[in-house]
Amino acid sequence: MAGVKNYLPQNIKSLRTAYGESQMDLAFAIGLNAPAAISNYESGTRSPKPEVRKKIAEHFRITEEQLMHVDLSGIRKISFEVLSDIHKVQELIFAAIPVVCSEEALKNRTFANGYNAHMRIKKCMLAGQEPNDKDYDICLDSYYSAFEDDAIPEAAGNMLWWLLQLEYFVLNQQISEGAQHLMENKISGIEFLRQCYLKNFDFENEDDTNASPDKESIDFYNDSEEIVQDLLKKLQSSRLSDLAYYYTALRYTCGIVKNELSQEMNQAIGNEMLWAISELGNKYAKNYLQVMVSATK
């Protein structure tokens, strides 16, 4: 396109550096057995073929348009120290997906029971302990009753706390398994990024590396989607409307919306939505962006 600057060479280098990859790492990840090709792409000596360019974009979970025409030179390096500290990772997750409460909500005994159970679960998770199974039942049943019977918006918000995480991990099984291994100290932060988060196209196992969700996972998503949409709609007309708009944007950012767009395009849309509502004063979006910055250096 005339008048549109091509940032492809510098963006490949900026993204590779941010994720701590060598040129060889990136070459192998996208199915090339010639690391020198990446050097040529970054110097501008050669341009990747369209199919290779597509893989590079998908590897870094961005769109081809972003890879080519958005200046990403300011991207910050991922902090592997943060990712290797499981307690820090859990704190980041809880900060990004808030458990909401208010004095008014706590006046409702049913909500209070659910919230107290939620806090016990959270405390166990942060301590690396297994929560009591009864607390899960108390938490979810109490939130459901508080929302359905007494229209407590905080109960709806905290039901979404559970549902959005389940949707994400069900639809991103490779990341889910990697996160479990990370929590069990079976892999390091950098191994999690390279093996589980970044999309890989190993030329020997390309069909298996980024497998699509199985039928059971898709069925779960379809069953939960109606509930999620209903909760978001009702939250929008409550005192927690900011949380509804934040979660709507976050679902795009996490690639768990159901539409005809690619996951990378939905993530790009979600990121723009988060920045926009943050600028409009959405406290949840502001906090999320600050949390993401804290995971970089």
Domains and CATH numbers, the chain: 8-69 (1.10.260.40), 80-294 (no CATH)
Tell me how far apart the alpha carbons of residues 282 and 230 are, in angstroms, rounded to a whole number: 21
- 106-161, pLDDT tens digit by residue? 999 999 999 999 999 999 887 778 899 999 999 999 999 999 999 999 999 999 99
Residue type, 116: N
pLDDT of residue 207: 45
Q: Which residue has the tokens 């600057």?
A: 5
pLDDT of residue 92: 79
How open is the CA angle 269-57-44, to the nearest 5 degrees? 125
Low-confidence ranges of the chain (pLDDT < 70): 1-4, 202-213, 297
State in Å, rounded, how far the first CA of the chain is from the last one: 34
Check if the beta carbon of residue 20 is closer than 8 Å to that of residue 82.
no
pLDDT of residue 209: 47
pLDDT of residue 297: 63
